[in-house]
Amino acid sequence: MIEIYFFNLEAVIKEFPNVRSISLKKKIYNVKQGYINGSIIFENGHRLAFVEVKDTDVKTKIKYSYQYMDEKSDFIFRYDNAPHHHDITNFPHHKHEFDTVKASFEPTLYNILLEIFKKQRKL
C-alpha cells in the first residue's frame, strides 16, 4: 500500500512540464508506513525540497514539509505541520511565506506543484 502511495507521488511529479529533474529517497517501514524525501528542480533553477511520513491507514500525513527555494536556495515558501505555532487556526498546518506564518490546509504534493507552476508562469 505504501509502495502504491509512493508510485502515485512520482506520477504526480511527472505531470508537471516545468520539472527538470527529480531525486527521491524512500524508506518503507512496513506495508502501510513509509518515508519519502525528495528534491525537484524546475526549468528556472528553482527547487522544491520535501519530506512526507505517511501511514496509508490514516488520511492525514504523520509529518510533512514542502520548502520552495529559488536558484540560489533562498527561501520562497514552506508548508509544514511542525507543532510550533499553537495560535494558528488549523494547527499544526501552516505556511511560512516571507516573514509571516499563516494557517493553511494540509497540502498534497499536487497542490504544492500546482502553486509553483502558477507562480512560475507569472514570472
Distance, in Å, from the CA atom of 108 to the CA atom of 61, rounded to the nearest integer, reads 9
Query: If pLDDT is split at 50, 70 and 90, which confidence band does 121 have?
Result: confident
pLDDT at 87: 86
Distance, in Å, from the CA atom of 110 to the CA atom of 12, rounded to the nearest integer, reads 6
* Interval 40-61: pLDDT, tens: 999 999 999 999 999 999 999 9
User: CB neighbours (10 Å) of residue 27?
Assistant: 11
pTM, full prediction: 0.94
Distance, in Å, from the CA atom of 73 to the CA atom of 92, rounded to the nearest integer, reads 25
Residue carrying the nine cell digits 511529479: 13
Mean predicted confidence (pLDDT) in 78-99:
91
Distance, in Å, from the CA atom of 30 to the CA atom of 117, rounded to the nearest integer, reads 33
pLDDT at 106: 96
